[in-house]
Amino acid sequence: MAKAAKTAIKTKDQKSAAESKNWTKVVRTIRSPKSGAYTFKESIVHKDKIKEFLAQK
C-alpha cells in the first residue's frame, strides 16, 4: 500500500492558506546600460497584476 503525499498546507486558518495561492514570484531580467550585464529583479506579485508588473520599465 502506497503512502499518501502530504503536500497540503496545514494551518488553522484555511482562508489565509487559500489566499496565499493567489501570489506569484516573478523574475524579470534587466540589462544594465552602463556595463551591458544582466541583473534580475524578483518580486512577489498578485496573480492579477503580473502583466502590469512585466510591462513596467
Give the per-residue pLDDT at 19. 77
Q: How far apart are CA 17 and CA 40, in angstroms?
A: 28
pLDDT tens by residue, 16-45: 777 788 899 999 999 999 999 999 989 999
Question: Is 23 in contact with 47 (CB distance < 8 Å)?
Answer: yes
Give the per-residue pLDDT at 48. 92
In a domain, 49, yes or no: yes
Does 57 score more than 90 pLDDT? no
In a domain, 16, yes or no: no
Give the per-residue pLDDT at 15. 72
Q: Select the more confidently predicted residue: 15 or 56.
A: 56
Range of the domain at 40: 21-55
Does 1 score more than 90 pLDDT? no
Structural domain count, the chain? 1
In a domain, 50, yes or no: yes
Question: Is 21 in contact with 44 (CB distance < 8 Å)?
Answer: no
